């Protein structure tokens, strides 16, 4: 029996044409669920009659004619954020000067229906715009249900772009930091280069932007390999130990390592990814060894399910 | 947006043409015909927030007058105004809701607006409407204040007529449930 819920608005208004109207009518005689839904639709339609046409504000035309801005000034907007923080957590709100608001807070910043951000004690957070924070120092933990790419956290080194998830961004006194993703995924972006960090991974953020995403359960030997590559080069024993310890879940880490190891070491890293069974069927290994941008993008995309 | 012509006034095409040429009187007349409904949709979309509604009205008509050169007839302008109204409401909501939970803000506004409420019933319905999910809310309000056909609504909302039917049916049923919840009874 096909229910008729989606047709009830037109049916109750009497605008549903035949034969659909007869079909809905017959269905409602047999289906108590749809009959109850029809009663609610009718009640909702009738309730709206109480909403009259509100008077237009007297200055409405003048505001349009002169294009006089009526939006609240930016300072008022960030202040609203600060007030929310103050209301929910034990916050200290400090202002350098009116045009340069800084919130030094501990507590929870509400994103309304889009989630919330917990601010670690001693952190310095600027509210650049309602869905745009700048973390100068300290840490924030965000739980966001907004559409992807709506909520961003800038750090001195890179921008963390929410892709629908739960994550922590931490920044030290030098501006370096770490992104740790609990659920979903976050894109770290700097200078048009974007690294997607999926759930269960952490990624260093330094002067070059996003580092290499590393699984939170990655073996120590692989962590050493990543750290040495970031410092300018891993030795062959470090490379061999890291690759030998890698698990299938570490293939994404190895893919991001490819541009960071010496050209002579690259085939070994690529072969390790292949041996972990995570190699896309139609990807030419030679393209990856040559650091072809499209090939690398395809490899990384397949490993992050994007 | 019904650009119904008041008796004795210019017809729509001439009015739009005059407004396009920069005629302020024509622009004001267009505004006075269309703005009350845009304002009503926005005001109820934001649960009675006059500031948000004013922002939407201004954004819609400043954009409309900026782009009048591209309009050739009444239907096109009306369709476009509906579409811009929907987008302005949803955009304004995004920029406002991030920081203030709707329920809290709604309660605050209702407390301040009590004197202005035309009736207790209207206040109750307004609160129930404000509780609807945004896509259902804007559909229900467009239908109520603009009296659009499904086809016109589909163009305004950027979706299929089937989706319009679904949103209106579910929106009205949900409205009844919200009303019942506010009154503490069964729907």
For the record, the structure tokens of B54 come out as 């004013």
| Residues A53, B128 contacting (CB under 8 angstroms) | no
Mutation for testing the B interface, residue in A46, A112, A116 having most B CBs under 10 Å: A112
Please report, rounded to a whole number, the percentage of residues in chain A having pLDDT higher than 90: 35
**Residue B101: what pLDDT?**
32
Per-residue pLDDT tens over the stretch A61-106: 888 887 644 444 343 344 344 434 433 333 333 333 333 444 544 5
- Mean pLDDT, chain A, integer: 82
Between A94 and B180, the more confident residue is B180
Per-residue pLDDT tens over the stretch B91-140: 776 655 443 333 333 433 433 444 444 567 788 888 899 889 989 999 99
Would an 8 Å CB–CB cutoff place B71 in contact with chain A?
Answer: no
CB nearest A6 (choices: B32, B65, B165): B165
Contacts of B54 (CB under 8 A, 6+ apart): A57, A60, A63, A70, B39
| Residues B83, B155 contacting (CB under 8 angstroms) | yes
- Selection from A5, A60, A149, A26 nearest residue B172 by Cα: A5
Mutation for testing the B interface, residue in A8, A33, A60 having most B CBs under 10 Å: A60
CA distances from A182 to A144, A165, A200 (A): 12, 7, 6
Per-residue pLDDT tens over the stretch A278-299: 888 889 999 999 998 889 989 9
**Residue A106: what pLDDT?**
59
Does residue A49 register a pLDDT over 80?
Answer: yes
- B144's enclosing H/E stretch is helix B134-146
Between A70 and B67, the more confident residue is B67
Does residue A156 register a pLDDT over 70?
Answer: yes
Regarding an ipTM greater than 0.85, the answer is no
Closest Cα in chain A to B22? A65
- Note which residues in 201-240 of chain A have CB less than 8 A from chain B: none
Closest Cα in chain A to B134? A113
Would an 8 Å CB–CB cutoff place B176 in contact with chain A?
Answer: yes
- Note which residues in 106-135 of chain B have CB less than 8 A from chain A: 118-119, 121-122, 124-126, 128-129
**Residue A84: what pLDDT?**
42
Does residue B8 register a pLDDT over 80?
Answer: no
């Amino acid at each position: 029996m096909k229910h008729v819920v989606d047709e009830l608005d037109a049916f109750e208004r009497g605008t549903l044409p035949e034969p659909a109207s007869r079909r809905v009518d017959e269905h409602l005689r047999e289906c108590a669920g749809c009959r109850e839904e029809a009663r609610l639709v009718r009640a909702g339609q009738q309730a709206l009659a109480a909403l009259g046409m509100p008077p237009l504000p007297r200055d409405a035309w003048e505001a349009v004619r002169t294009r006089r801005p009526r939006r609240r000034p930016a300072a008022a907007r960030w202040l609203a954020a600060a007030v929310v923080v103050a209301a929910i957590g034990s916050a200290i709100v400090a202002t350098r000067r009116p045009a340069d608001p800084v919130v030094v807070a501990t507590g929870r910043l509400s994103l309304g229906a889009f989630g919330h951000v917990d601010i670690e004690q001693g952190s310095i957070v600027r509210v650049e715009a309602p869905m745009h924070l700048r973390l100068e120092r300290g840490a924030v933990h965000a739980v966001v249900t907004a559409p992807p790419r709506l909520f961003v956290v800038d750090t001195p080194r890179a921008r963390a772009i929410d892709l629908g998830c739960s994550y922590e961004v931490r920044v030290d006194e030098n501006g370096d930091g770490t992104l740790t993703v609990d659920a979903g995924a976050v894109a770290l972006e700097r200078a048009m280069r974007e690294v997607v960090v999926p759930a269960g991974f952490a990624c260093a953020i330094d002067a070059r932007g996003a580092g290499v995403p590393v699984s939170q359960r990655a073996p120590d030997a692989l962590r050493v390999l990543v750290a040495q590559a970031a410092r300018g080069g891993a030795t062959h024993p470090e490379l061999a130990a890291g690759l030998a310890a890698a698990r299938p879940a570490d293939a994404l880490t190895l893919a991001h390592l490819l541009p960071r190891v010496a050209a002579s070491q690259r085939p070994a890293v690529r072969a390790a990814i292949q041996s972990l069974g995570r190699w896309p069927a139609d990807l030419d290994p030679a393209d990856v060894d040559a650091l072809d941008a499209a090939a690398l993008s395809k490899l990384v995309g397949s490993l992050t399910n994007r | 947006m019904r650009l119904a012509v008041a008796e004795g006034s210019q017809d729509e095409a001439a009015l739009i043409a005059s407004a396009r040429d920069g005629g302020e009187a024509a622009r004001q007349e267009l505004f006075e015909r269309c703005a009350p409904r845009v304002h009503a949709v926005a005001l109820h979309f934001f649960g009675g927030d006059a500031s948000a509604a004013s922002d939407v009205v201004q954004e819609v008509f400043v954009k409309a007058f900026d782009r009048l050169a591209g309009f050739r007839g009444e239907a096109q302008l009306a369709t476009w105004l509906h579409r811009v109204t929907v987008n302005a409401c949803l955009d304004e909501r995004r920029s406002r809701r991030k920081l203030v939970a709707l329920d809290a803000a709604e309660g605050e506004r209702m407390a301040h607006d009590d004197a202005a409420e035309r009736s207790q019933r209207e206040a109750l319905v307004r609160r129930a409407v404000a509780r609807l999910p945004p896509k259902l809310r804007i559909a229900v309000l467009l239908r109520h204040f603009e009296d659009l056909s499904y086809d016109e609504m589909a163009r305004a909302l950027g979706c299929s007529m089937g989706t319009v039917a679904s949103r209106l049916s579910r929106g009205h049923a949900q409205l009844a449930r919200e009303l019942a919840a506010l009154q503490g009874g069964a729907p």
